[in-house]
Structure 1
């Protein structure tokens, strides 16, 4: 198996594990996200624990991986070069947050939920793609 096929297989397995984790944790249910945001009502803290687990895993994983001279399936690490905050980043983050709060989906869970497509899910994905198109044109 050549490196390109191995990279594709590793990407597939990573996506499958991510999707499985989202499904098992209940994060493909938009009601969980909306419940997390309802701090004055019937608050659901589940999302906080999922996010906490992701932060811990990423923190430990980066420490281990970045000690390696090169990635297993690439010539070099591809890390973000930009370190600061600017208006574009903050605007994008705000739009992402508003969309997530209104729909209950962020991109990962939305794609993982495609098997049970609904009108709100399809609408969210369509507006997400529209946002990408607009962002590429104004960049």
Structure 2
């Protein structure tokens, strides 16, 4: 079987193919984000007075979206589905974590133990989302 050429994280993230639990031909087994030591190094950063897990990918700091939702947005919106609807309307595309990043986030308690998928978002995009959620009330 011939393999497709490697694609960039941006290309994988901006693809029109929806994220699903089953692997797609354009996604490597480790997930759409490249599984490298640099991409998998997690640090805690302060966002709006709380510590959130983050990864630096291609020079961009990306924070854990479910953790940010839990800390800042769950009391403002109906649920995570509402957040994803808002992201789509705001034309913000979160980055899908690779398997190792998910493992690290579970180990830190940033996401629940049974979770096997997670998305990351830039601070700038989170601020736009937060403003949208607070103005929607």
What TM-score do you get using the length of structure 2 for normalisation?
A: 0.29
Higher relative strand content: 2
Higher Cα Rg, which structure: 1
What TM-score do you get using the length of structure 1 for normalisation?
A: 0.29
